[in-house]
Structure 1
Amino acid sequence: MSSDALPLVSKAPARALEPWRAMLAGLCASLVGLGLARFAYTPLLPAIVEARWFGAADASWLAAANLAGYLAGALLAAPLSARASARSVLRGMMLLSTLTLLACAWPIDFAWFFAWRFLAGVGGGTLMVLAAPTILPHVAPARRGLASGAIFMGIGLGIAASGSLVPLLLRHGLTATWLGLGAMSLALTVLAWSGWPEPDAPAPAKRGHADHRLPAAALRAVYVEYALNAVGLVPHMIYLVDFVARGLGQGLAAGAHMWVLFGLGAVVGPIAGGLVADRTGFRTALRLAFVLQAIAAWLPAFGMTGAWLAISSVVMGAFTPGIVGLVLGRLHELLVHHPASHKLAWSRATTGFAILQAAAAYGMSYLLVRSGGHHAPLFAVGGAAVVLALAIDLVAPRLIRQPA
């Protein structure tokens, strides 16, 4: 069998299964750091308000605290990996994410909860920056779309698990729910523990040819597009359950059902996007993603409920983790002659994403209060941001006069 027939490659035949173990570790990391430590909060938000742990406004600020921590984690990833091995940092951040879930079982006060939600974001941001670049060098280039989709599918699995398990755990109270999520996170951390590979030494960038110059302008365009896409995701990520439960008056059960649909989309989205990208290229797949997200984000803004809201939830759920793999793959396309620059480019993209995501979360919390609790303006802003990202991607290649 030729090496091209294998989705994953390894230099040593005796270690041929290690890339699959690394992919499993990456899936566990995205499941813990984002799927549970971040997204489990969304279906919990109405229950936290109803149990009077915190008021509605404070609960929204706590959600935004996680996004601010995500930004801090994205910024800390490179310094941490320079002082310790990527394997050690990844293990440590999975442990930190687990600890934050356990600590949130007791609402001692707002400052306590805020600090732990912030630290949960730190863990998620660091895992997002380091996990995939540590794993993808062990994957054949023609299969990196599928591989990145498998890694980031963990986010969707966490969303689906939180949407289905949280209502069951809530029967035993909020404290038991947080402890149950922490126990699940600990089990996944143990499963991933021995699966992390040491990253390969980066290959030197090729020089001396005009076509191999670093495409700085094209990279900046992708950074901006990815950051704008973060704005488009915020309304569904944070407010979908609250919109259905309180905004539409359908109750927590209906909100949790919609979150499950969001989670099912998030499970399928990364793999589907990766398969499309492996066939069409990441540029085309990324543009298609922008179009679908813009439509889905605007459906709730124009009062489309029922089946339309379900479609919106599935599509936005698919691209919440799916857009990550597409942007990572697009950066690899642009940096095909500069492998040593991959991790830095991904760190910058993740940082930009985190900055606008955190800003959008705080801004939308303020907008929700100013609008008297109406959610439609949030979805309208999200859709507009994704349209702007698409416009930049279409126009940028002409303006910078570089290959698209």
Structure 2
Amino acid sequence: MSQDACANAPAPAAVRTTDSVLDTRALYAALAGLCASLVAIGLARFAYTPLIPSLIHAHWFTAADTVTLSAANFAGYFAGALFGRPIAARMSNRHALRWLMVAATAAFFACAFPLSVGWFFVWRFLSGLSGGAIMVLVATAILPHIAPARRGFVSGMIFLGLGLGIAASGTLVPALLALGLRETWFGLGALSLVLTALSWFGWPATDAPAGAPAAGGHAGIGAALRAQRPTLRLLSVQYAANALGLVPAMVLLVDYVARGLGQGATVGAGYWVLYGVAAIAGPLVSGFLGDRMGFRGAYRLALLLQALAVAWLAVSGGTVALVVSTIVLGAFTPGVVPLMLGRIHEALPHDANAQRAAWSRVTSAFALFQVLAGYGYSYLFSHTHENYALIFACGAAALIVALVADVAMRGRVR
């Protein structure tokens, strides 16, 4: 074929980028990913926390029931992480992501009607399942269409939705609650509906970019995963330990400030807003670090900073310790996601299907240990006379284990 013919050949349906520039389709795909993570994870998970007191005060549910309903979303998230790939295999990534966002949106509207605990549990579980499946699918549906040099930025933009959801839980939700509890659920549903419509045509039309090397079916995927077994085991252990390290601040930060330090609920809410603001910047900063210093080095730095931040909370309740630790942990709550995804792409650089399988596995490990951490820390907290320092110390220890494991495996993993 002549050079002129090559120049005039039609562009493939997939998103196209150069090493330094993202085209319009790539940016729209990244925006769709941001909308998906905001709806199904950022809002569906984090917006529930500030609603808990209102659910109890309005006599929708008892305090014990609200705890059960909180767990429903985590359990659904774990199920979604396990079944996200089979769902996409039946529908394609594009259609699966569309309808998962629809399901999460429907759950907001359904939760405006407290018909029974069972009704609410089903919809909270469904919203969690949508979030877990979207976490598995969203980046691996988009990043294979993005030039490697720009994947850090795009993955950071995709998971910016998590940070926006955390920030909204401390700002938008209280504003909606001034209108009423049912109106708050309707408001979250309306916002999710708009975001779902905005993202509808942004997803890449194909599950793999044009010209991508064939994965060789299940046998090819299995061979690729076996070849990187030590690396993938390490990443699963690290991500699971990262969940153990992040949960203490996610669950106890506000309570620690309000009751543990006696500074009151208003001050505690202020720190949650700071946590949310840091979470907005976290994915973009993490993506930038991954692009500049490599994702392995960036993830090591993230583990170290998280460990220091949680440990500081364990030994000090001073203002400086609280502010710095809140910023660091808020940033890395969503920020570790693009870093781990980048590590998987480094380990399996030329096989999009194997990347999806590996990402599903490490996400499942994170989801499982997040659930275990939630219940485990709750038990430990209640049986140690509300010892905040002990819980934070456990989180710091888990993060140190993750970092030491990476250093110990140096030379044996990619």
State the TM-score, normalizing by the size of structure 1.
0.90
Helix, strand or coil at the partner of 2:178: helix
Please give the per-residue CA displacement for 1:341-397, whole angstroms capped at 9, x wherever unaligned: 111111111111111111111222222332344433332222211111111111123
After TM superposition, the structure 1 stretch with the greater mean CA deviation from structure 2, 243-252 or 337-346, is 243-252
Corresponding position of 1:239: 252
2:281 to 238, 249, 268: 268
What is aligned with 2:367? 354
CA contact (8 A) 1:150 1:271 kept: yes
Bigger CA drift: 170-179 or 387-396?
A: 170-179
Equivalent in the alignment of 1:314: 327
The aligned residue for residue 27 of structure 1 is 34
* Counterpart among 323, 326, 339 of residue 336 in structure 2: 323
Structure 2 CA distance for partners of 1:245 and 1:175, relative to 1, 3 Å = farther
**Does structure 2 conserve the Cα–Cα contact (< 8 Å) formed by 1:42 and 1:237?**
no
Q: After superposition, give the CA deviation of every residue in 1:71-126 in whole Å (9 maximum; x if it has no partner).
A: 00011111111111111111111111112222222333433333222221101001
- Structure 1 equivalent of residue 213 of structure 2: 203
Shift of 1:191: 0.8
Residues 278-316 of structure 1, C-alpha deviation per residue, up to 9 Å, x if partnerless? 111001000000001111122332242433222222211
AA aligned to 2:40 is: G
Alignment partner of 1:78 out of 85, 93, 108: 85
Equivalent residues in 2 for 1:255-294 (5 A)?
255-294=268-307
1:219-265 CA-to-partner distances (Å, cap 9, x unmatched) read: 11011101110111112223333333444444443332211111111
Question: Is contact 2:19-2:147 (8 Å) kept?
Answer: no
Aligned twin of 2:312: 299
Aligned equivalent of 2:180, options 166, 173, 176: 173
Specify whether residues 190 and 246 from structure 1 end up closer, same or farther in structure 2 by C-alpha distance, changes over 3 A only. Answer: farther
Structure 1 counterpart SS, 2:45: coil
5+ residue gaps, structure 1, are 9-15
Q: Matched residue of 2:284: which SS?
A: helix
Deviations 1:186-230 (A, max 9, x none): 1111111111112226523599xxx99822111110111011101
Q: Which moved more, 1:195-204 or 1:23-32?
A: 195-204
How far 1:149 moved relative to its partner? Answer: 0.4
Shift of 1:4: 4.6
1:6 aligned to 2:20? yes
Distance 1:259 1:222, change over 3 A: same
Between the aligned partners of 2:338 and 2:199, the Cα distance in structure 1 is 20
Identity of aligned residues (%): 52
Structure-2 separation of matches of 1:229 and 1:43:
24
- Asked if the contact 1:137/1:200 (under 8 Å) is kept, the reply is yes
Aligned to 1:138: 145
Q: Aligned residue for 1:191?
A: 198
AA matched with 2:213: A
Q: Which residue of 2 aligns with 1:97?
A: 104
User: In the alignment, what sits opposite 1:12?
Assistant: none
| Range with bigger deviation, 273-282 or 244-253 | 244-253
Q: Does the residue aligned with 1:195 lie in a helix, a strand or coil? A: coil
Match of 2:165 in 1: 158
Change (3 A) 1:384 1:113: farther
1:137-186 CA-to-partner distances (Å, cap 9, x unmatched) read 12110111111001001110111122111221222232222221121111
Give TM-score scaled by structure 2 length.
Answer: 0.87
Preserved contact between residue 282 and residue 327 of structure 1 (Cα < 8 Å):
yes
Structure showing greater radius of gyration is: 2
CA 1:190/1:353 → structure 2, altered by over 3 Å: closer, same or farther?
Answer: same
Taking only aligned residues, the RMSD between alpha carbons, in angstroms, comes to: 2.4
Once the 2 structures are TM-superposed, how far is the Cα of residue 58 of structure 1 from its aligned partner? Answer: 3.8
Amino acid of the structure 2 residue aligned with 1:203: P
